């Protein structure tokens, strides 16, 4: 199985576990980390709607927790091929220095895919001179 198909399968499995009792909009995300591992997430809604976390950010949390800090590819599965929200686009941009090389593929329930480089989904992403390689020195074990 190709790495892309593995990502699709992983995203679909994550989508099946989405907690979306309010919107019923199930989202699954799979991220290929720079370490070659696949990290997944589903959306996790909350009765206090603003506390809802998107599938993409859950997957990023899984990746960072595992010790990986760079993304190579992203697959998002929804019923209608929805694209990552703005907050997730910025969160994904945090974990690459080459957004033009990170392909984001969005699939609908029929498996139809649309793809973009992350740089097209979020042109001119916010960046700071305090980049990820210039971490504060007060972070333990870093
Ligand atoms: Zn989002």
Report pLDDT digits (tens) over 115-130: 999 999 999 999 887 7
Q: How far apart are CA 142 and CA 140, in angstroms?
A: 5
Q: What is the pLDDT of residue 141?
A: 47
pLDDT band at residue 142 using 50, 70 and 90 as cut-offs: very low
CA 90–ligand 1 middle distance (angstroms): 9
Q: What is the pLDDT of residues 3-62, one digit of tens each?
A: 999 999 999 999 999 999 999 999 999 999 999 999 999 999 999 999 999 999 999 999
Structural domain boundaries in the chain: 3-121
94 is catalytic: no
DSSP classification of residue 16? H
Q: What is the pLDDT of residue 61?
A: 98
The predicted model gives 76-103 an average pLDDT of 98
Q: What is the pLDDT of residue 136?
A: 52
pLDDT band at residue 137 using 50, 70 and 90 as cut-offs: low
CA 54–ligand 1 middle distance (angstroms): 4
CA 50–ligand 1 middle distance (angstroms): 12
Instruction: Say how many C-beta atoms besides its own lie within 10 A of residue 122's C-beta.
Output: 20
Label residue 65 exposed, middle or buried (CB < 10 Å: 0-12, 13-18, 19+): exposed
pLDDT at 133 over 80: no
Tokens of 140: 């333990």
Tell me if 41 sits within 8 A of 69, measured CB to CB: no
CA 140–ligand 1 middle distance (angstroms): 29
Q: What is the CATH number assigned to the segment(s) 3-121?
A: 3.40.140.10
Helix pair 3-16, 55-65: axis angle to 10 deg:
110
Q: How far apart are CA 16 and CA 18, in angstroms?
A: 6
Q: Which of 56, 94, 110, 129 is catalytic?
A: 56
């Amino acid at each position: 199985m190709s790495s892309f198909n593995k990502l699709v399968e992983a995203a679909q499995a994550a989508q099946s576990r989405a907690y979306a009792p309010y919107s019923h909009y199930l989202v699954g995300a799979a991220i290929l980390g720079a370490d070659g591992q696949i990290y997944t997430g589903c959306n996790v809604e909350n009765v206090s709607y603003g506390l809802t976390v998107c599938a993409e950010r859950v997957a990023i949390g899984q990746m960072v927790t595992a010790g990986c800090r760079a993304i190579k590819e992203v697959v998002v599965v929804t019923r209608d091929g929805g694209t990552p929200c703005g907050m997730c686009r910025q969160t994904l941009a945090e974990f690459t220095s080459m957004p033009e090389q990170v392909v984001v593929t969005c699939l609908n329930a029929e498996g139809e895919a649309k793809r973009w480089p992350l740089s097209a989904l979020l042109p001119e992403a916010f960046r700071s001179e305090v980049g990820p390689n210039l971490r504060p020195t007060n972070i333990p074990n870093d």
